[in-house]
Structure 1
């Protein structure tokens, strides 16, 4: 578990969790503007439950179950390198941009999905 803790530190995981919660809220507000009026309540809720204290141990378990100790140490070495630190710092931005691309594609084809659902519902 010590190796996992070192990896979490090298990845700045606690900070990433907080930033991820903020990005999820931002994306949700963009995709559902009607929820913007509830932004403060949603932010309090997300930060209450999506934080290192509440999910950190579970995240550590996932890494421990997924990677061998040797692999965890290799990941730690990577994340301690300059490129690893850059990757850790930019991962939330990359994830947000990727989510926006995905969201855009879904929005562009939303009518097709709705039509298929309606066809199926009419067939039943």
Structure 2
């Protein structure tokens, strides 16, 4: 009985995804991003500060690399060919690629804080627009 070529190709594609995730230090990036997201959430909502350790413990129990790993592989396989994943792995093994991997989580957190700051600084306008829609819907009998 011969081996299934499609299954072998899928295993090879998955191996390429694994290689790329290892080269880009995806586990460390995930853990850094998870911690950054927790800090950003508490910064955005200081009332959560007393629950920081509870939230961190919850994340440690449920939002783990092991819990997301297979999805990371699957999602990368869906978006990149095997050859592209191998090229990405090669890039992440270069000095610039290693630097990109190291900076990605911090950049993600900082960029989310930029968005949060912009929304917060324009919150009055958001409330005004929501109120206008709510009042318009109420006036037209929609609410």
TM-score, with length taken from structure 1: 0.96
Distance 1:23 1:121 in 2: 35
The CA deviation string for residues 43-62 of structure 1, in whole angstroms up to 9 with x for no partner, is: 11122222111010011000
Is 1:113 matched with 2:126?
yes
Distance 1:17 1:89 in 2: 11
Please give the root-mean-square deviation of Cα atoms over the aligned residues, in Å. Answer: 0.9
CA contact (8 A) 2:30 2:105 kept: no
What does residue 46 of structure 2 align with?
Answer: 33
5+ unaligned residues in a row in structure 1: which ranges? Answer: none
Aligned to 2:31: 18
Tell me the SS of whatever aligns to 2:99: helix
Q: Tell me the alpha carbon deviations over residues 51-106 of structure 1, each in whole angstroms, 9 at most, x when there is no partner.
A: 11101001100001110011001100100000000000011111111111111111
- May I ask how many residue pairs the two structures share in their alignment? 124
Q: Which runs of 4+ in 1 moved over 3 A?
A: none
CA displacement 1:14-54 (0-9 Å, x = unmatched)? 11111111001000000000111111111111222221110
Structure with bigger gyration radius: 2
**TM value normalised by structure 2:** 0.84
Is the contact between residue 32 and residue 106 of structure 2 (CA under 8 Å) also seen in structure 1? no
